[in-house]
Amino acid sequence: MSKKTAESILSAKQFSRNDLLEILETTKKIEKTLETKKEIPLLNEYILATLFFEPSTRTRLSFESAMHRLGGKVITSVGMQFSSLAKGETLFDTLKMVEAYADICAIRHPVEGASILAAENISIPVINAGDGAGEHPTQALLDLYTIKKHKPLDEKKLKIAFIGDIRNGRTIHSLIYLLRHFNVEFVFISPAEISLPDVYKNELKNQNISFYETENINDIKDSDVLYVTRIQEERFIDRKTFEKFKDNYVIDKELVLKYSSNCIVMHPLPRLNEVSIDLDDTPYAVYFDQAKNGLFTRMALLLRLLNINF
């Protein structure tokens, strides 16, 4: 039986358009405030637990930085091999400890749905910080914030091109759920074997959002946003398949100038070769700013889940 009493962030599907506009507004206020202040000390009494059972740089560090900048405290468990899961403890028992020690937790886990299991069994808010090839809703929220900073939402139809490992790219799955609330069309560029799963295609069809799938990188033509992802090596059982796809698409300055000179180039990072470093110093590249926006967005989300007004 569900013991959940607090709001959690488990899927990007849970957000209404109004929720998103509120989160974007709070995030903007936080970014503005941090231009002149180091801290917004509203969470002094709270502890965040970060449980990361898959590798991470940005998500874990930005959640922890967000909690510190809000005056709160952080406890962390990184890598299954360094937790008692390695001694055979169940995830359920681990979560019962987290519930006792912290007020809110962010969990990254290789199994899809792990954060749902967590939220059903503990009474503190749970944040899905990435569950296997499933979703990564807080990344999608910072992605949405980044898009809005550069391309006004709803003024005209935005053409968003997703490129890379669309089957396994959990940030893409979550971002689709958020962008369906706005005036957008999608192009999905990937080899057929790693294309968008049906569940997301059906969602787009149900919402009458136009999209098409292609293997041709030239179809980035006239896009407003190029959202590039890494081929997710860790999701392939067979290394040969990964090798086959790994350098299929490389977005560089020449390609952007030729086909899509009004676009921004986004990437959830880490990148391998799929975004050339020759873009880094151009106005197209927003991926480092995107990662920075994770701090402001996650501060807004911690406040929201703990019911603290800002």
Chain positions contacting ligand CP, by CB under 6 A: 56-59, 130, 136, 139, 268-270
Query: In the bound complex, what is the minimum distance in angstroms from residue 176's beta carbon to ligand CP?
Result: 16
Task: Rank residues 187 and 269 by Cβ distance to ligand CP and give the closer one.
Answer: 269
Query: In the bound complex, what is the minimum distance in angstroms from residue 259's beta carbon to ligand CP?
Result: 25
Task: Rank residues 11 and 59 by Cβ distance to ligand CP and give the closer one.
Answer: 59
Q: How far apart are CA 200 and CA 134, in angstroms?
A: 11
Query: In the bound complex, what is the minimum distance in angstroms from residue 77's beta carbon to ligand CP?
Result: 15
Query: In the bound complex, what is the minimum distance in angstroms from residue 153's beta carbon to ligand CP?
Result: 22
Query: In the bound complex, what is the minimum distance in angstroms from residue 2's beta carbon to ligand CP?
Result: 28
Amino acid at 277: I
Q: Are 175 and 143 in contact (CB under 8 A)?
A: yes
Closest C-alpha among 248, 234, 264 to residue 169: 234
Q: Are strands 225-228 and 264-266 parallel, antiparallel or unpaired?
A: parallel
Burial-class residue 25 by CB neighbours within 10 Å (0-12, 13-18, 19+). Answer: exposed
Q: Which residues of 223-240 are buried (b: 16+ CB within 10 A; e: fewer)?
A: bbbbbbbbbbeebbeeee
Task: Rank residues 99 and 134 by Cβ distance to ligand CP and give the closer one.
Answer: 134
Strands (E), the chain: 47-52, 73-78, 104-109, 126-131, 158-163, 184-189, 211-214, 225-228, 264-266
Query: In the bound complex, what is the minimum distance in angstroms from residue 99's beta carbon to ligand CP?
Result: 24
Task: Give the residues across from 265 on adjacent strands.
Answer: 226, 285
Task: Rank residues 59 and 190 by Cβ distance to ligand CP and give the closer one.
Answer: 59
Task: Rank residues 145 and 259 by Cβ distance to ligand CP and give the closer one.
Answer: 145
Amino acid at 113: G
Task: Rank residues 58 and 73 by Cβ distance to ligand CP and give the closer one.
Answer: 58
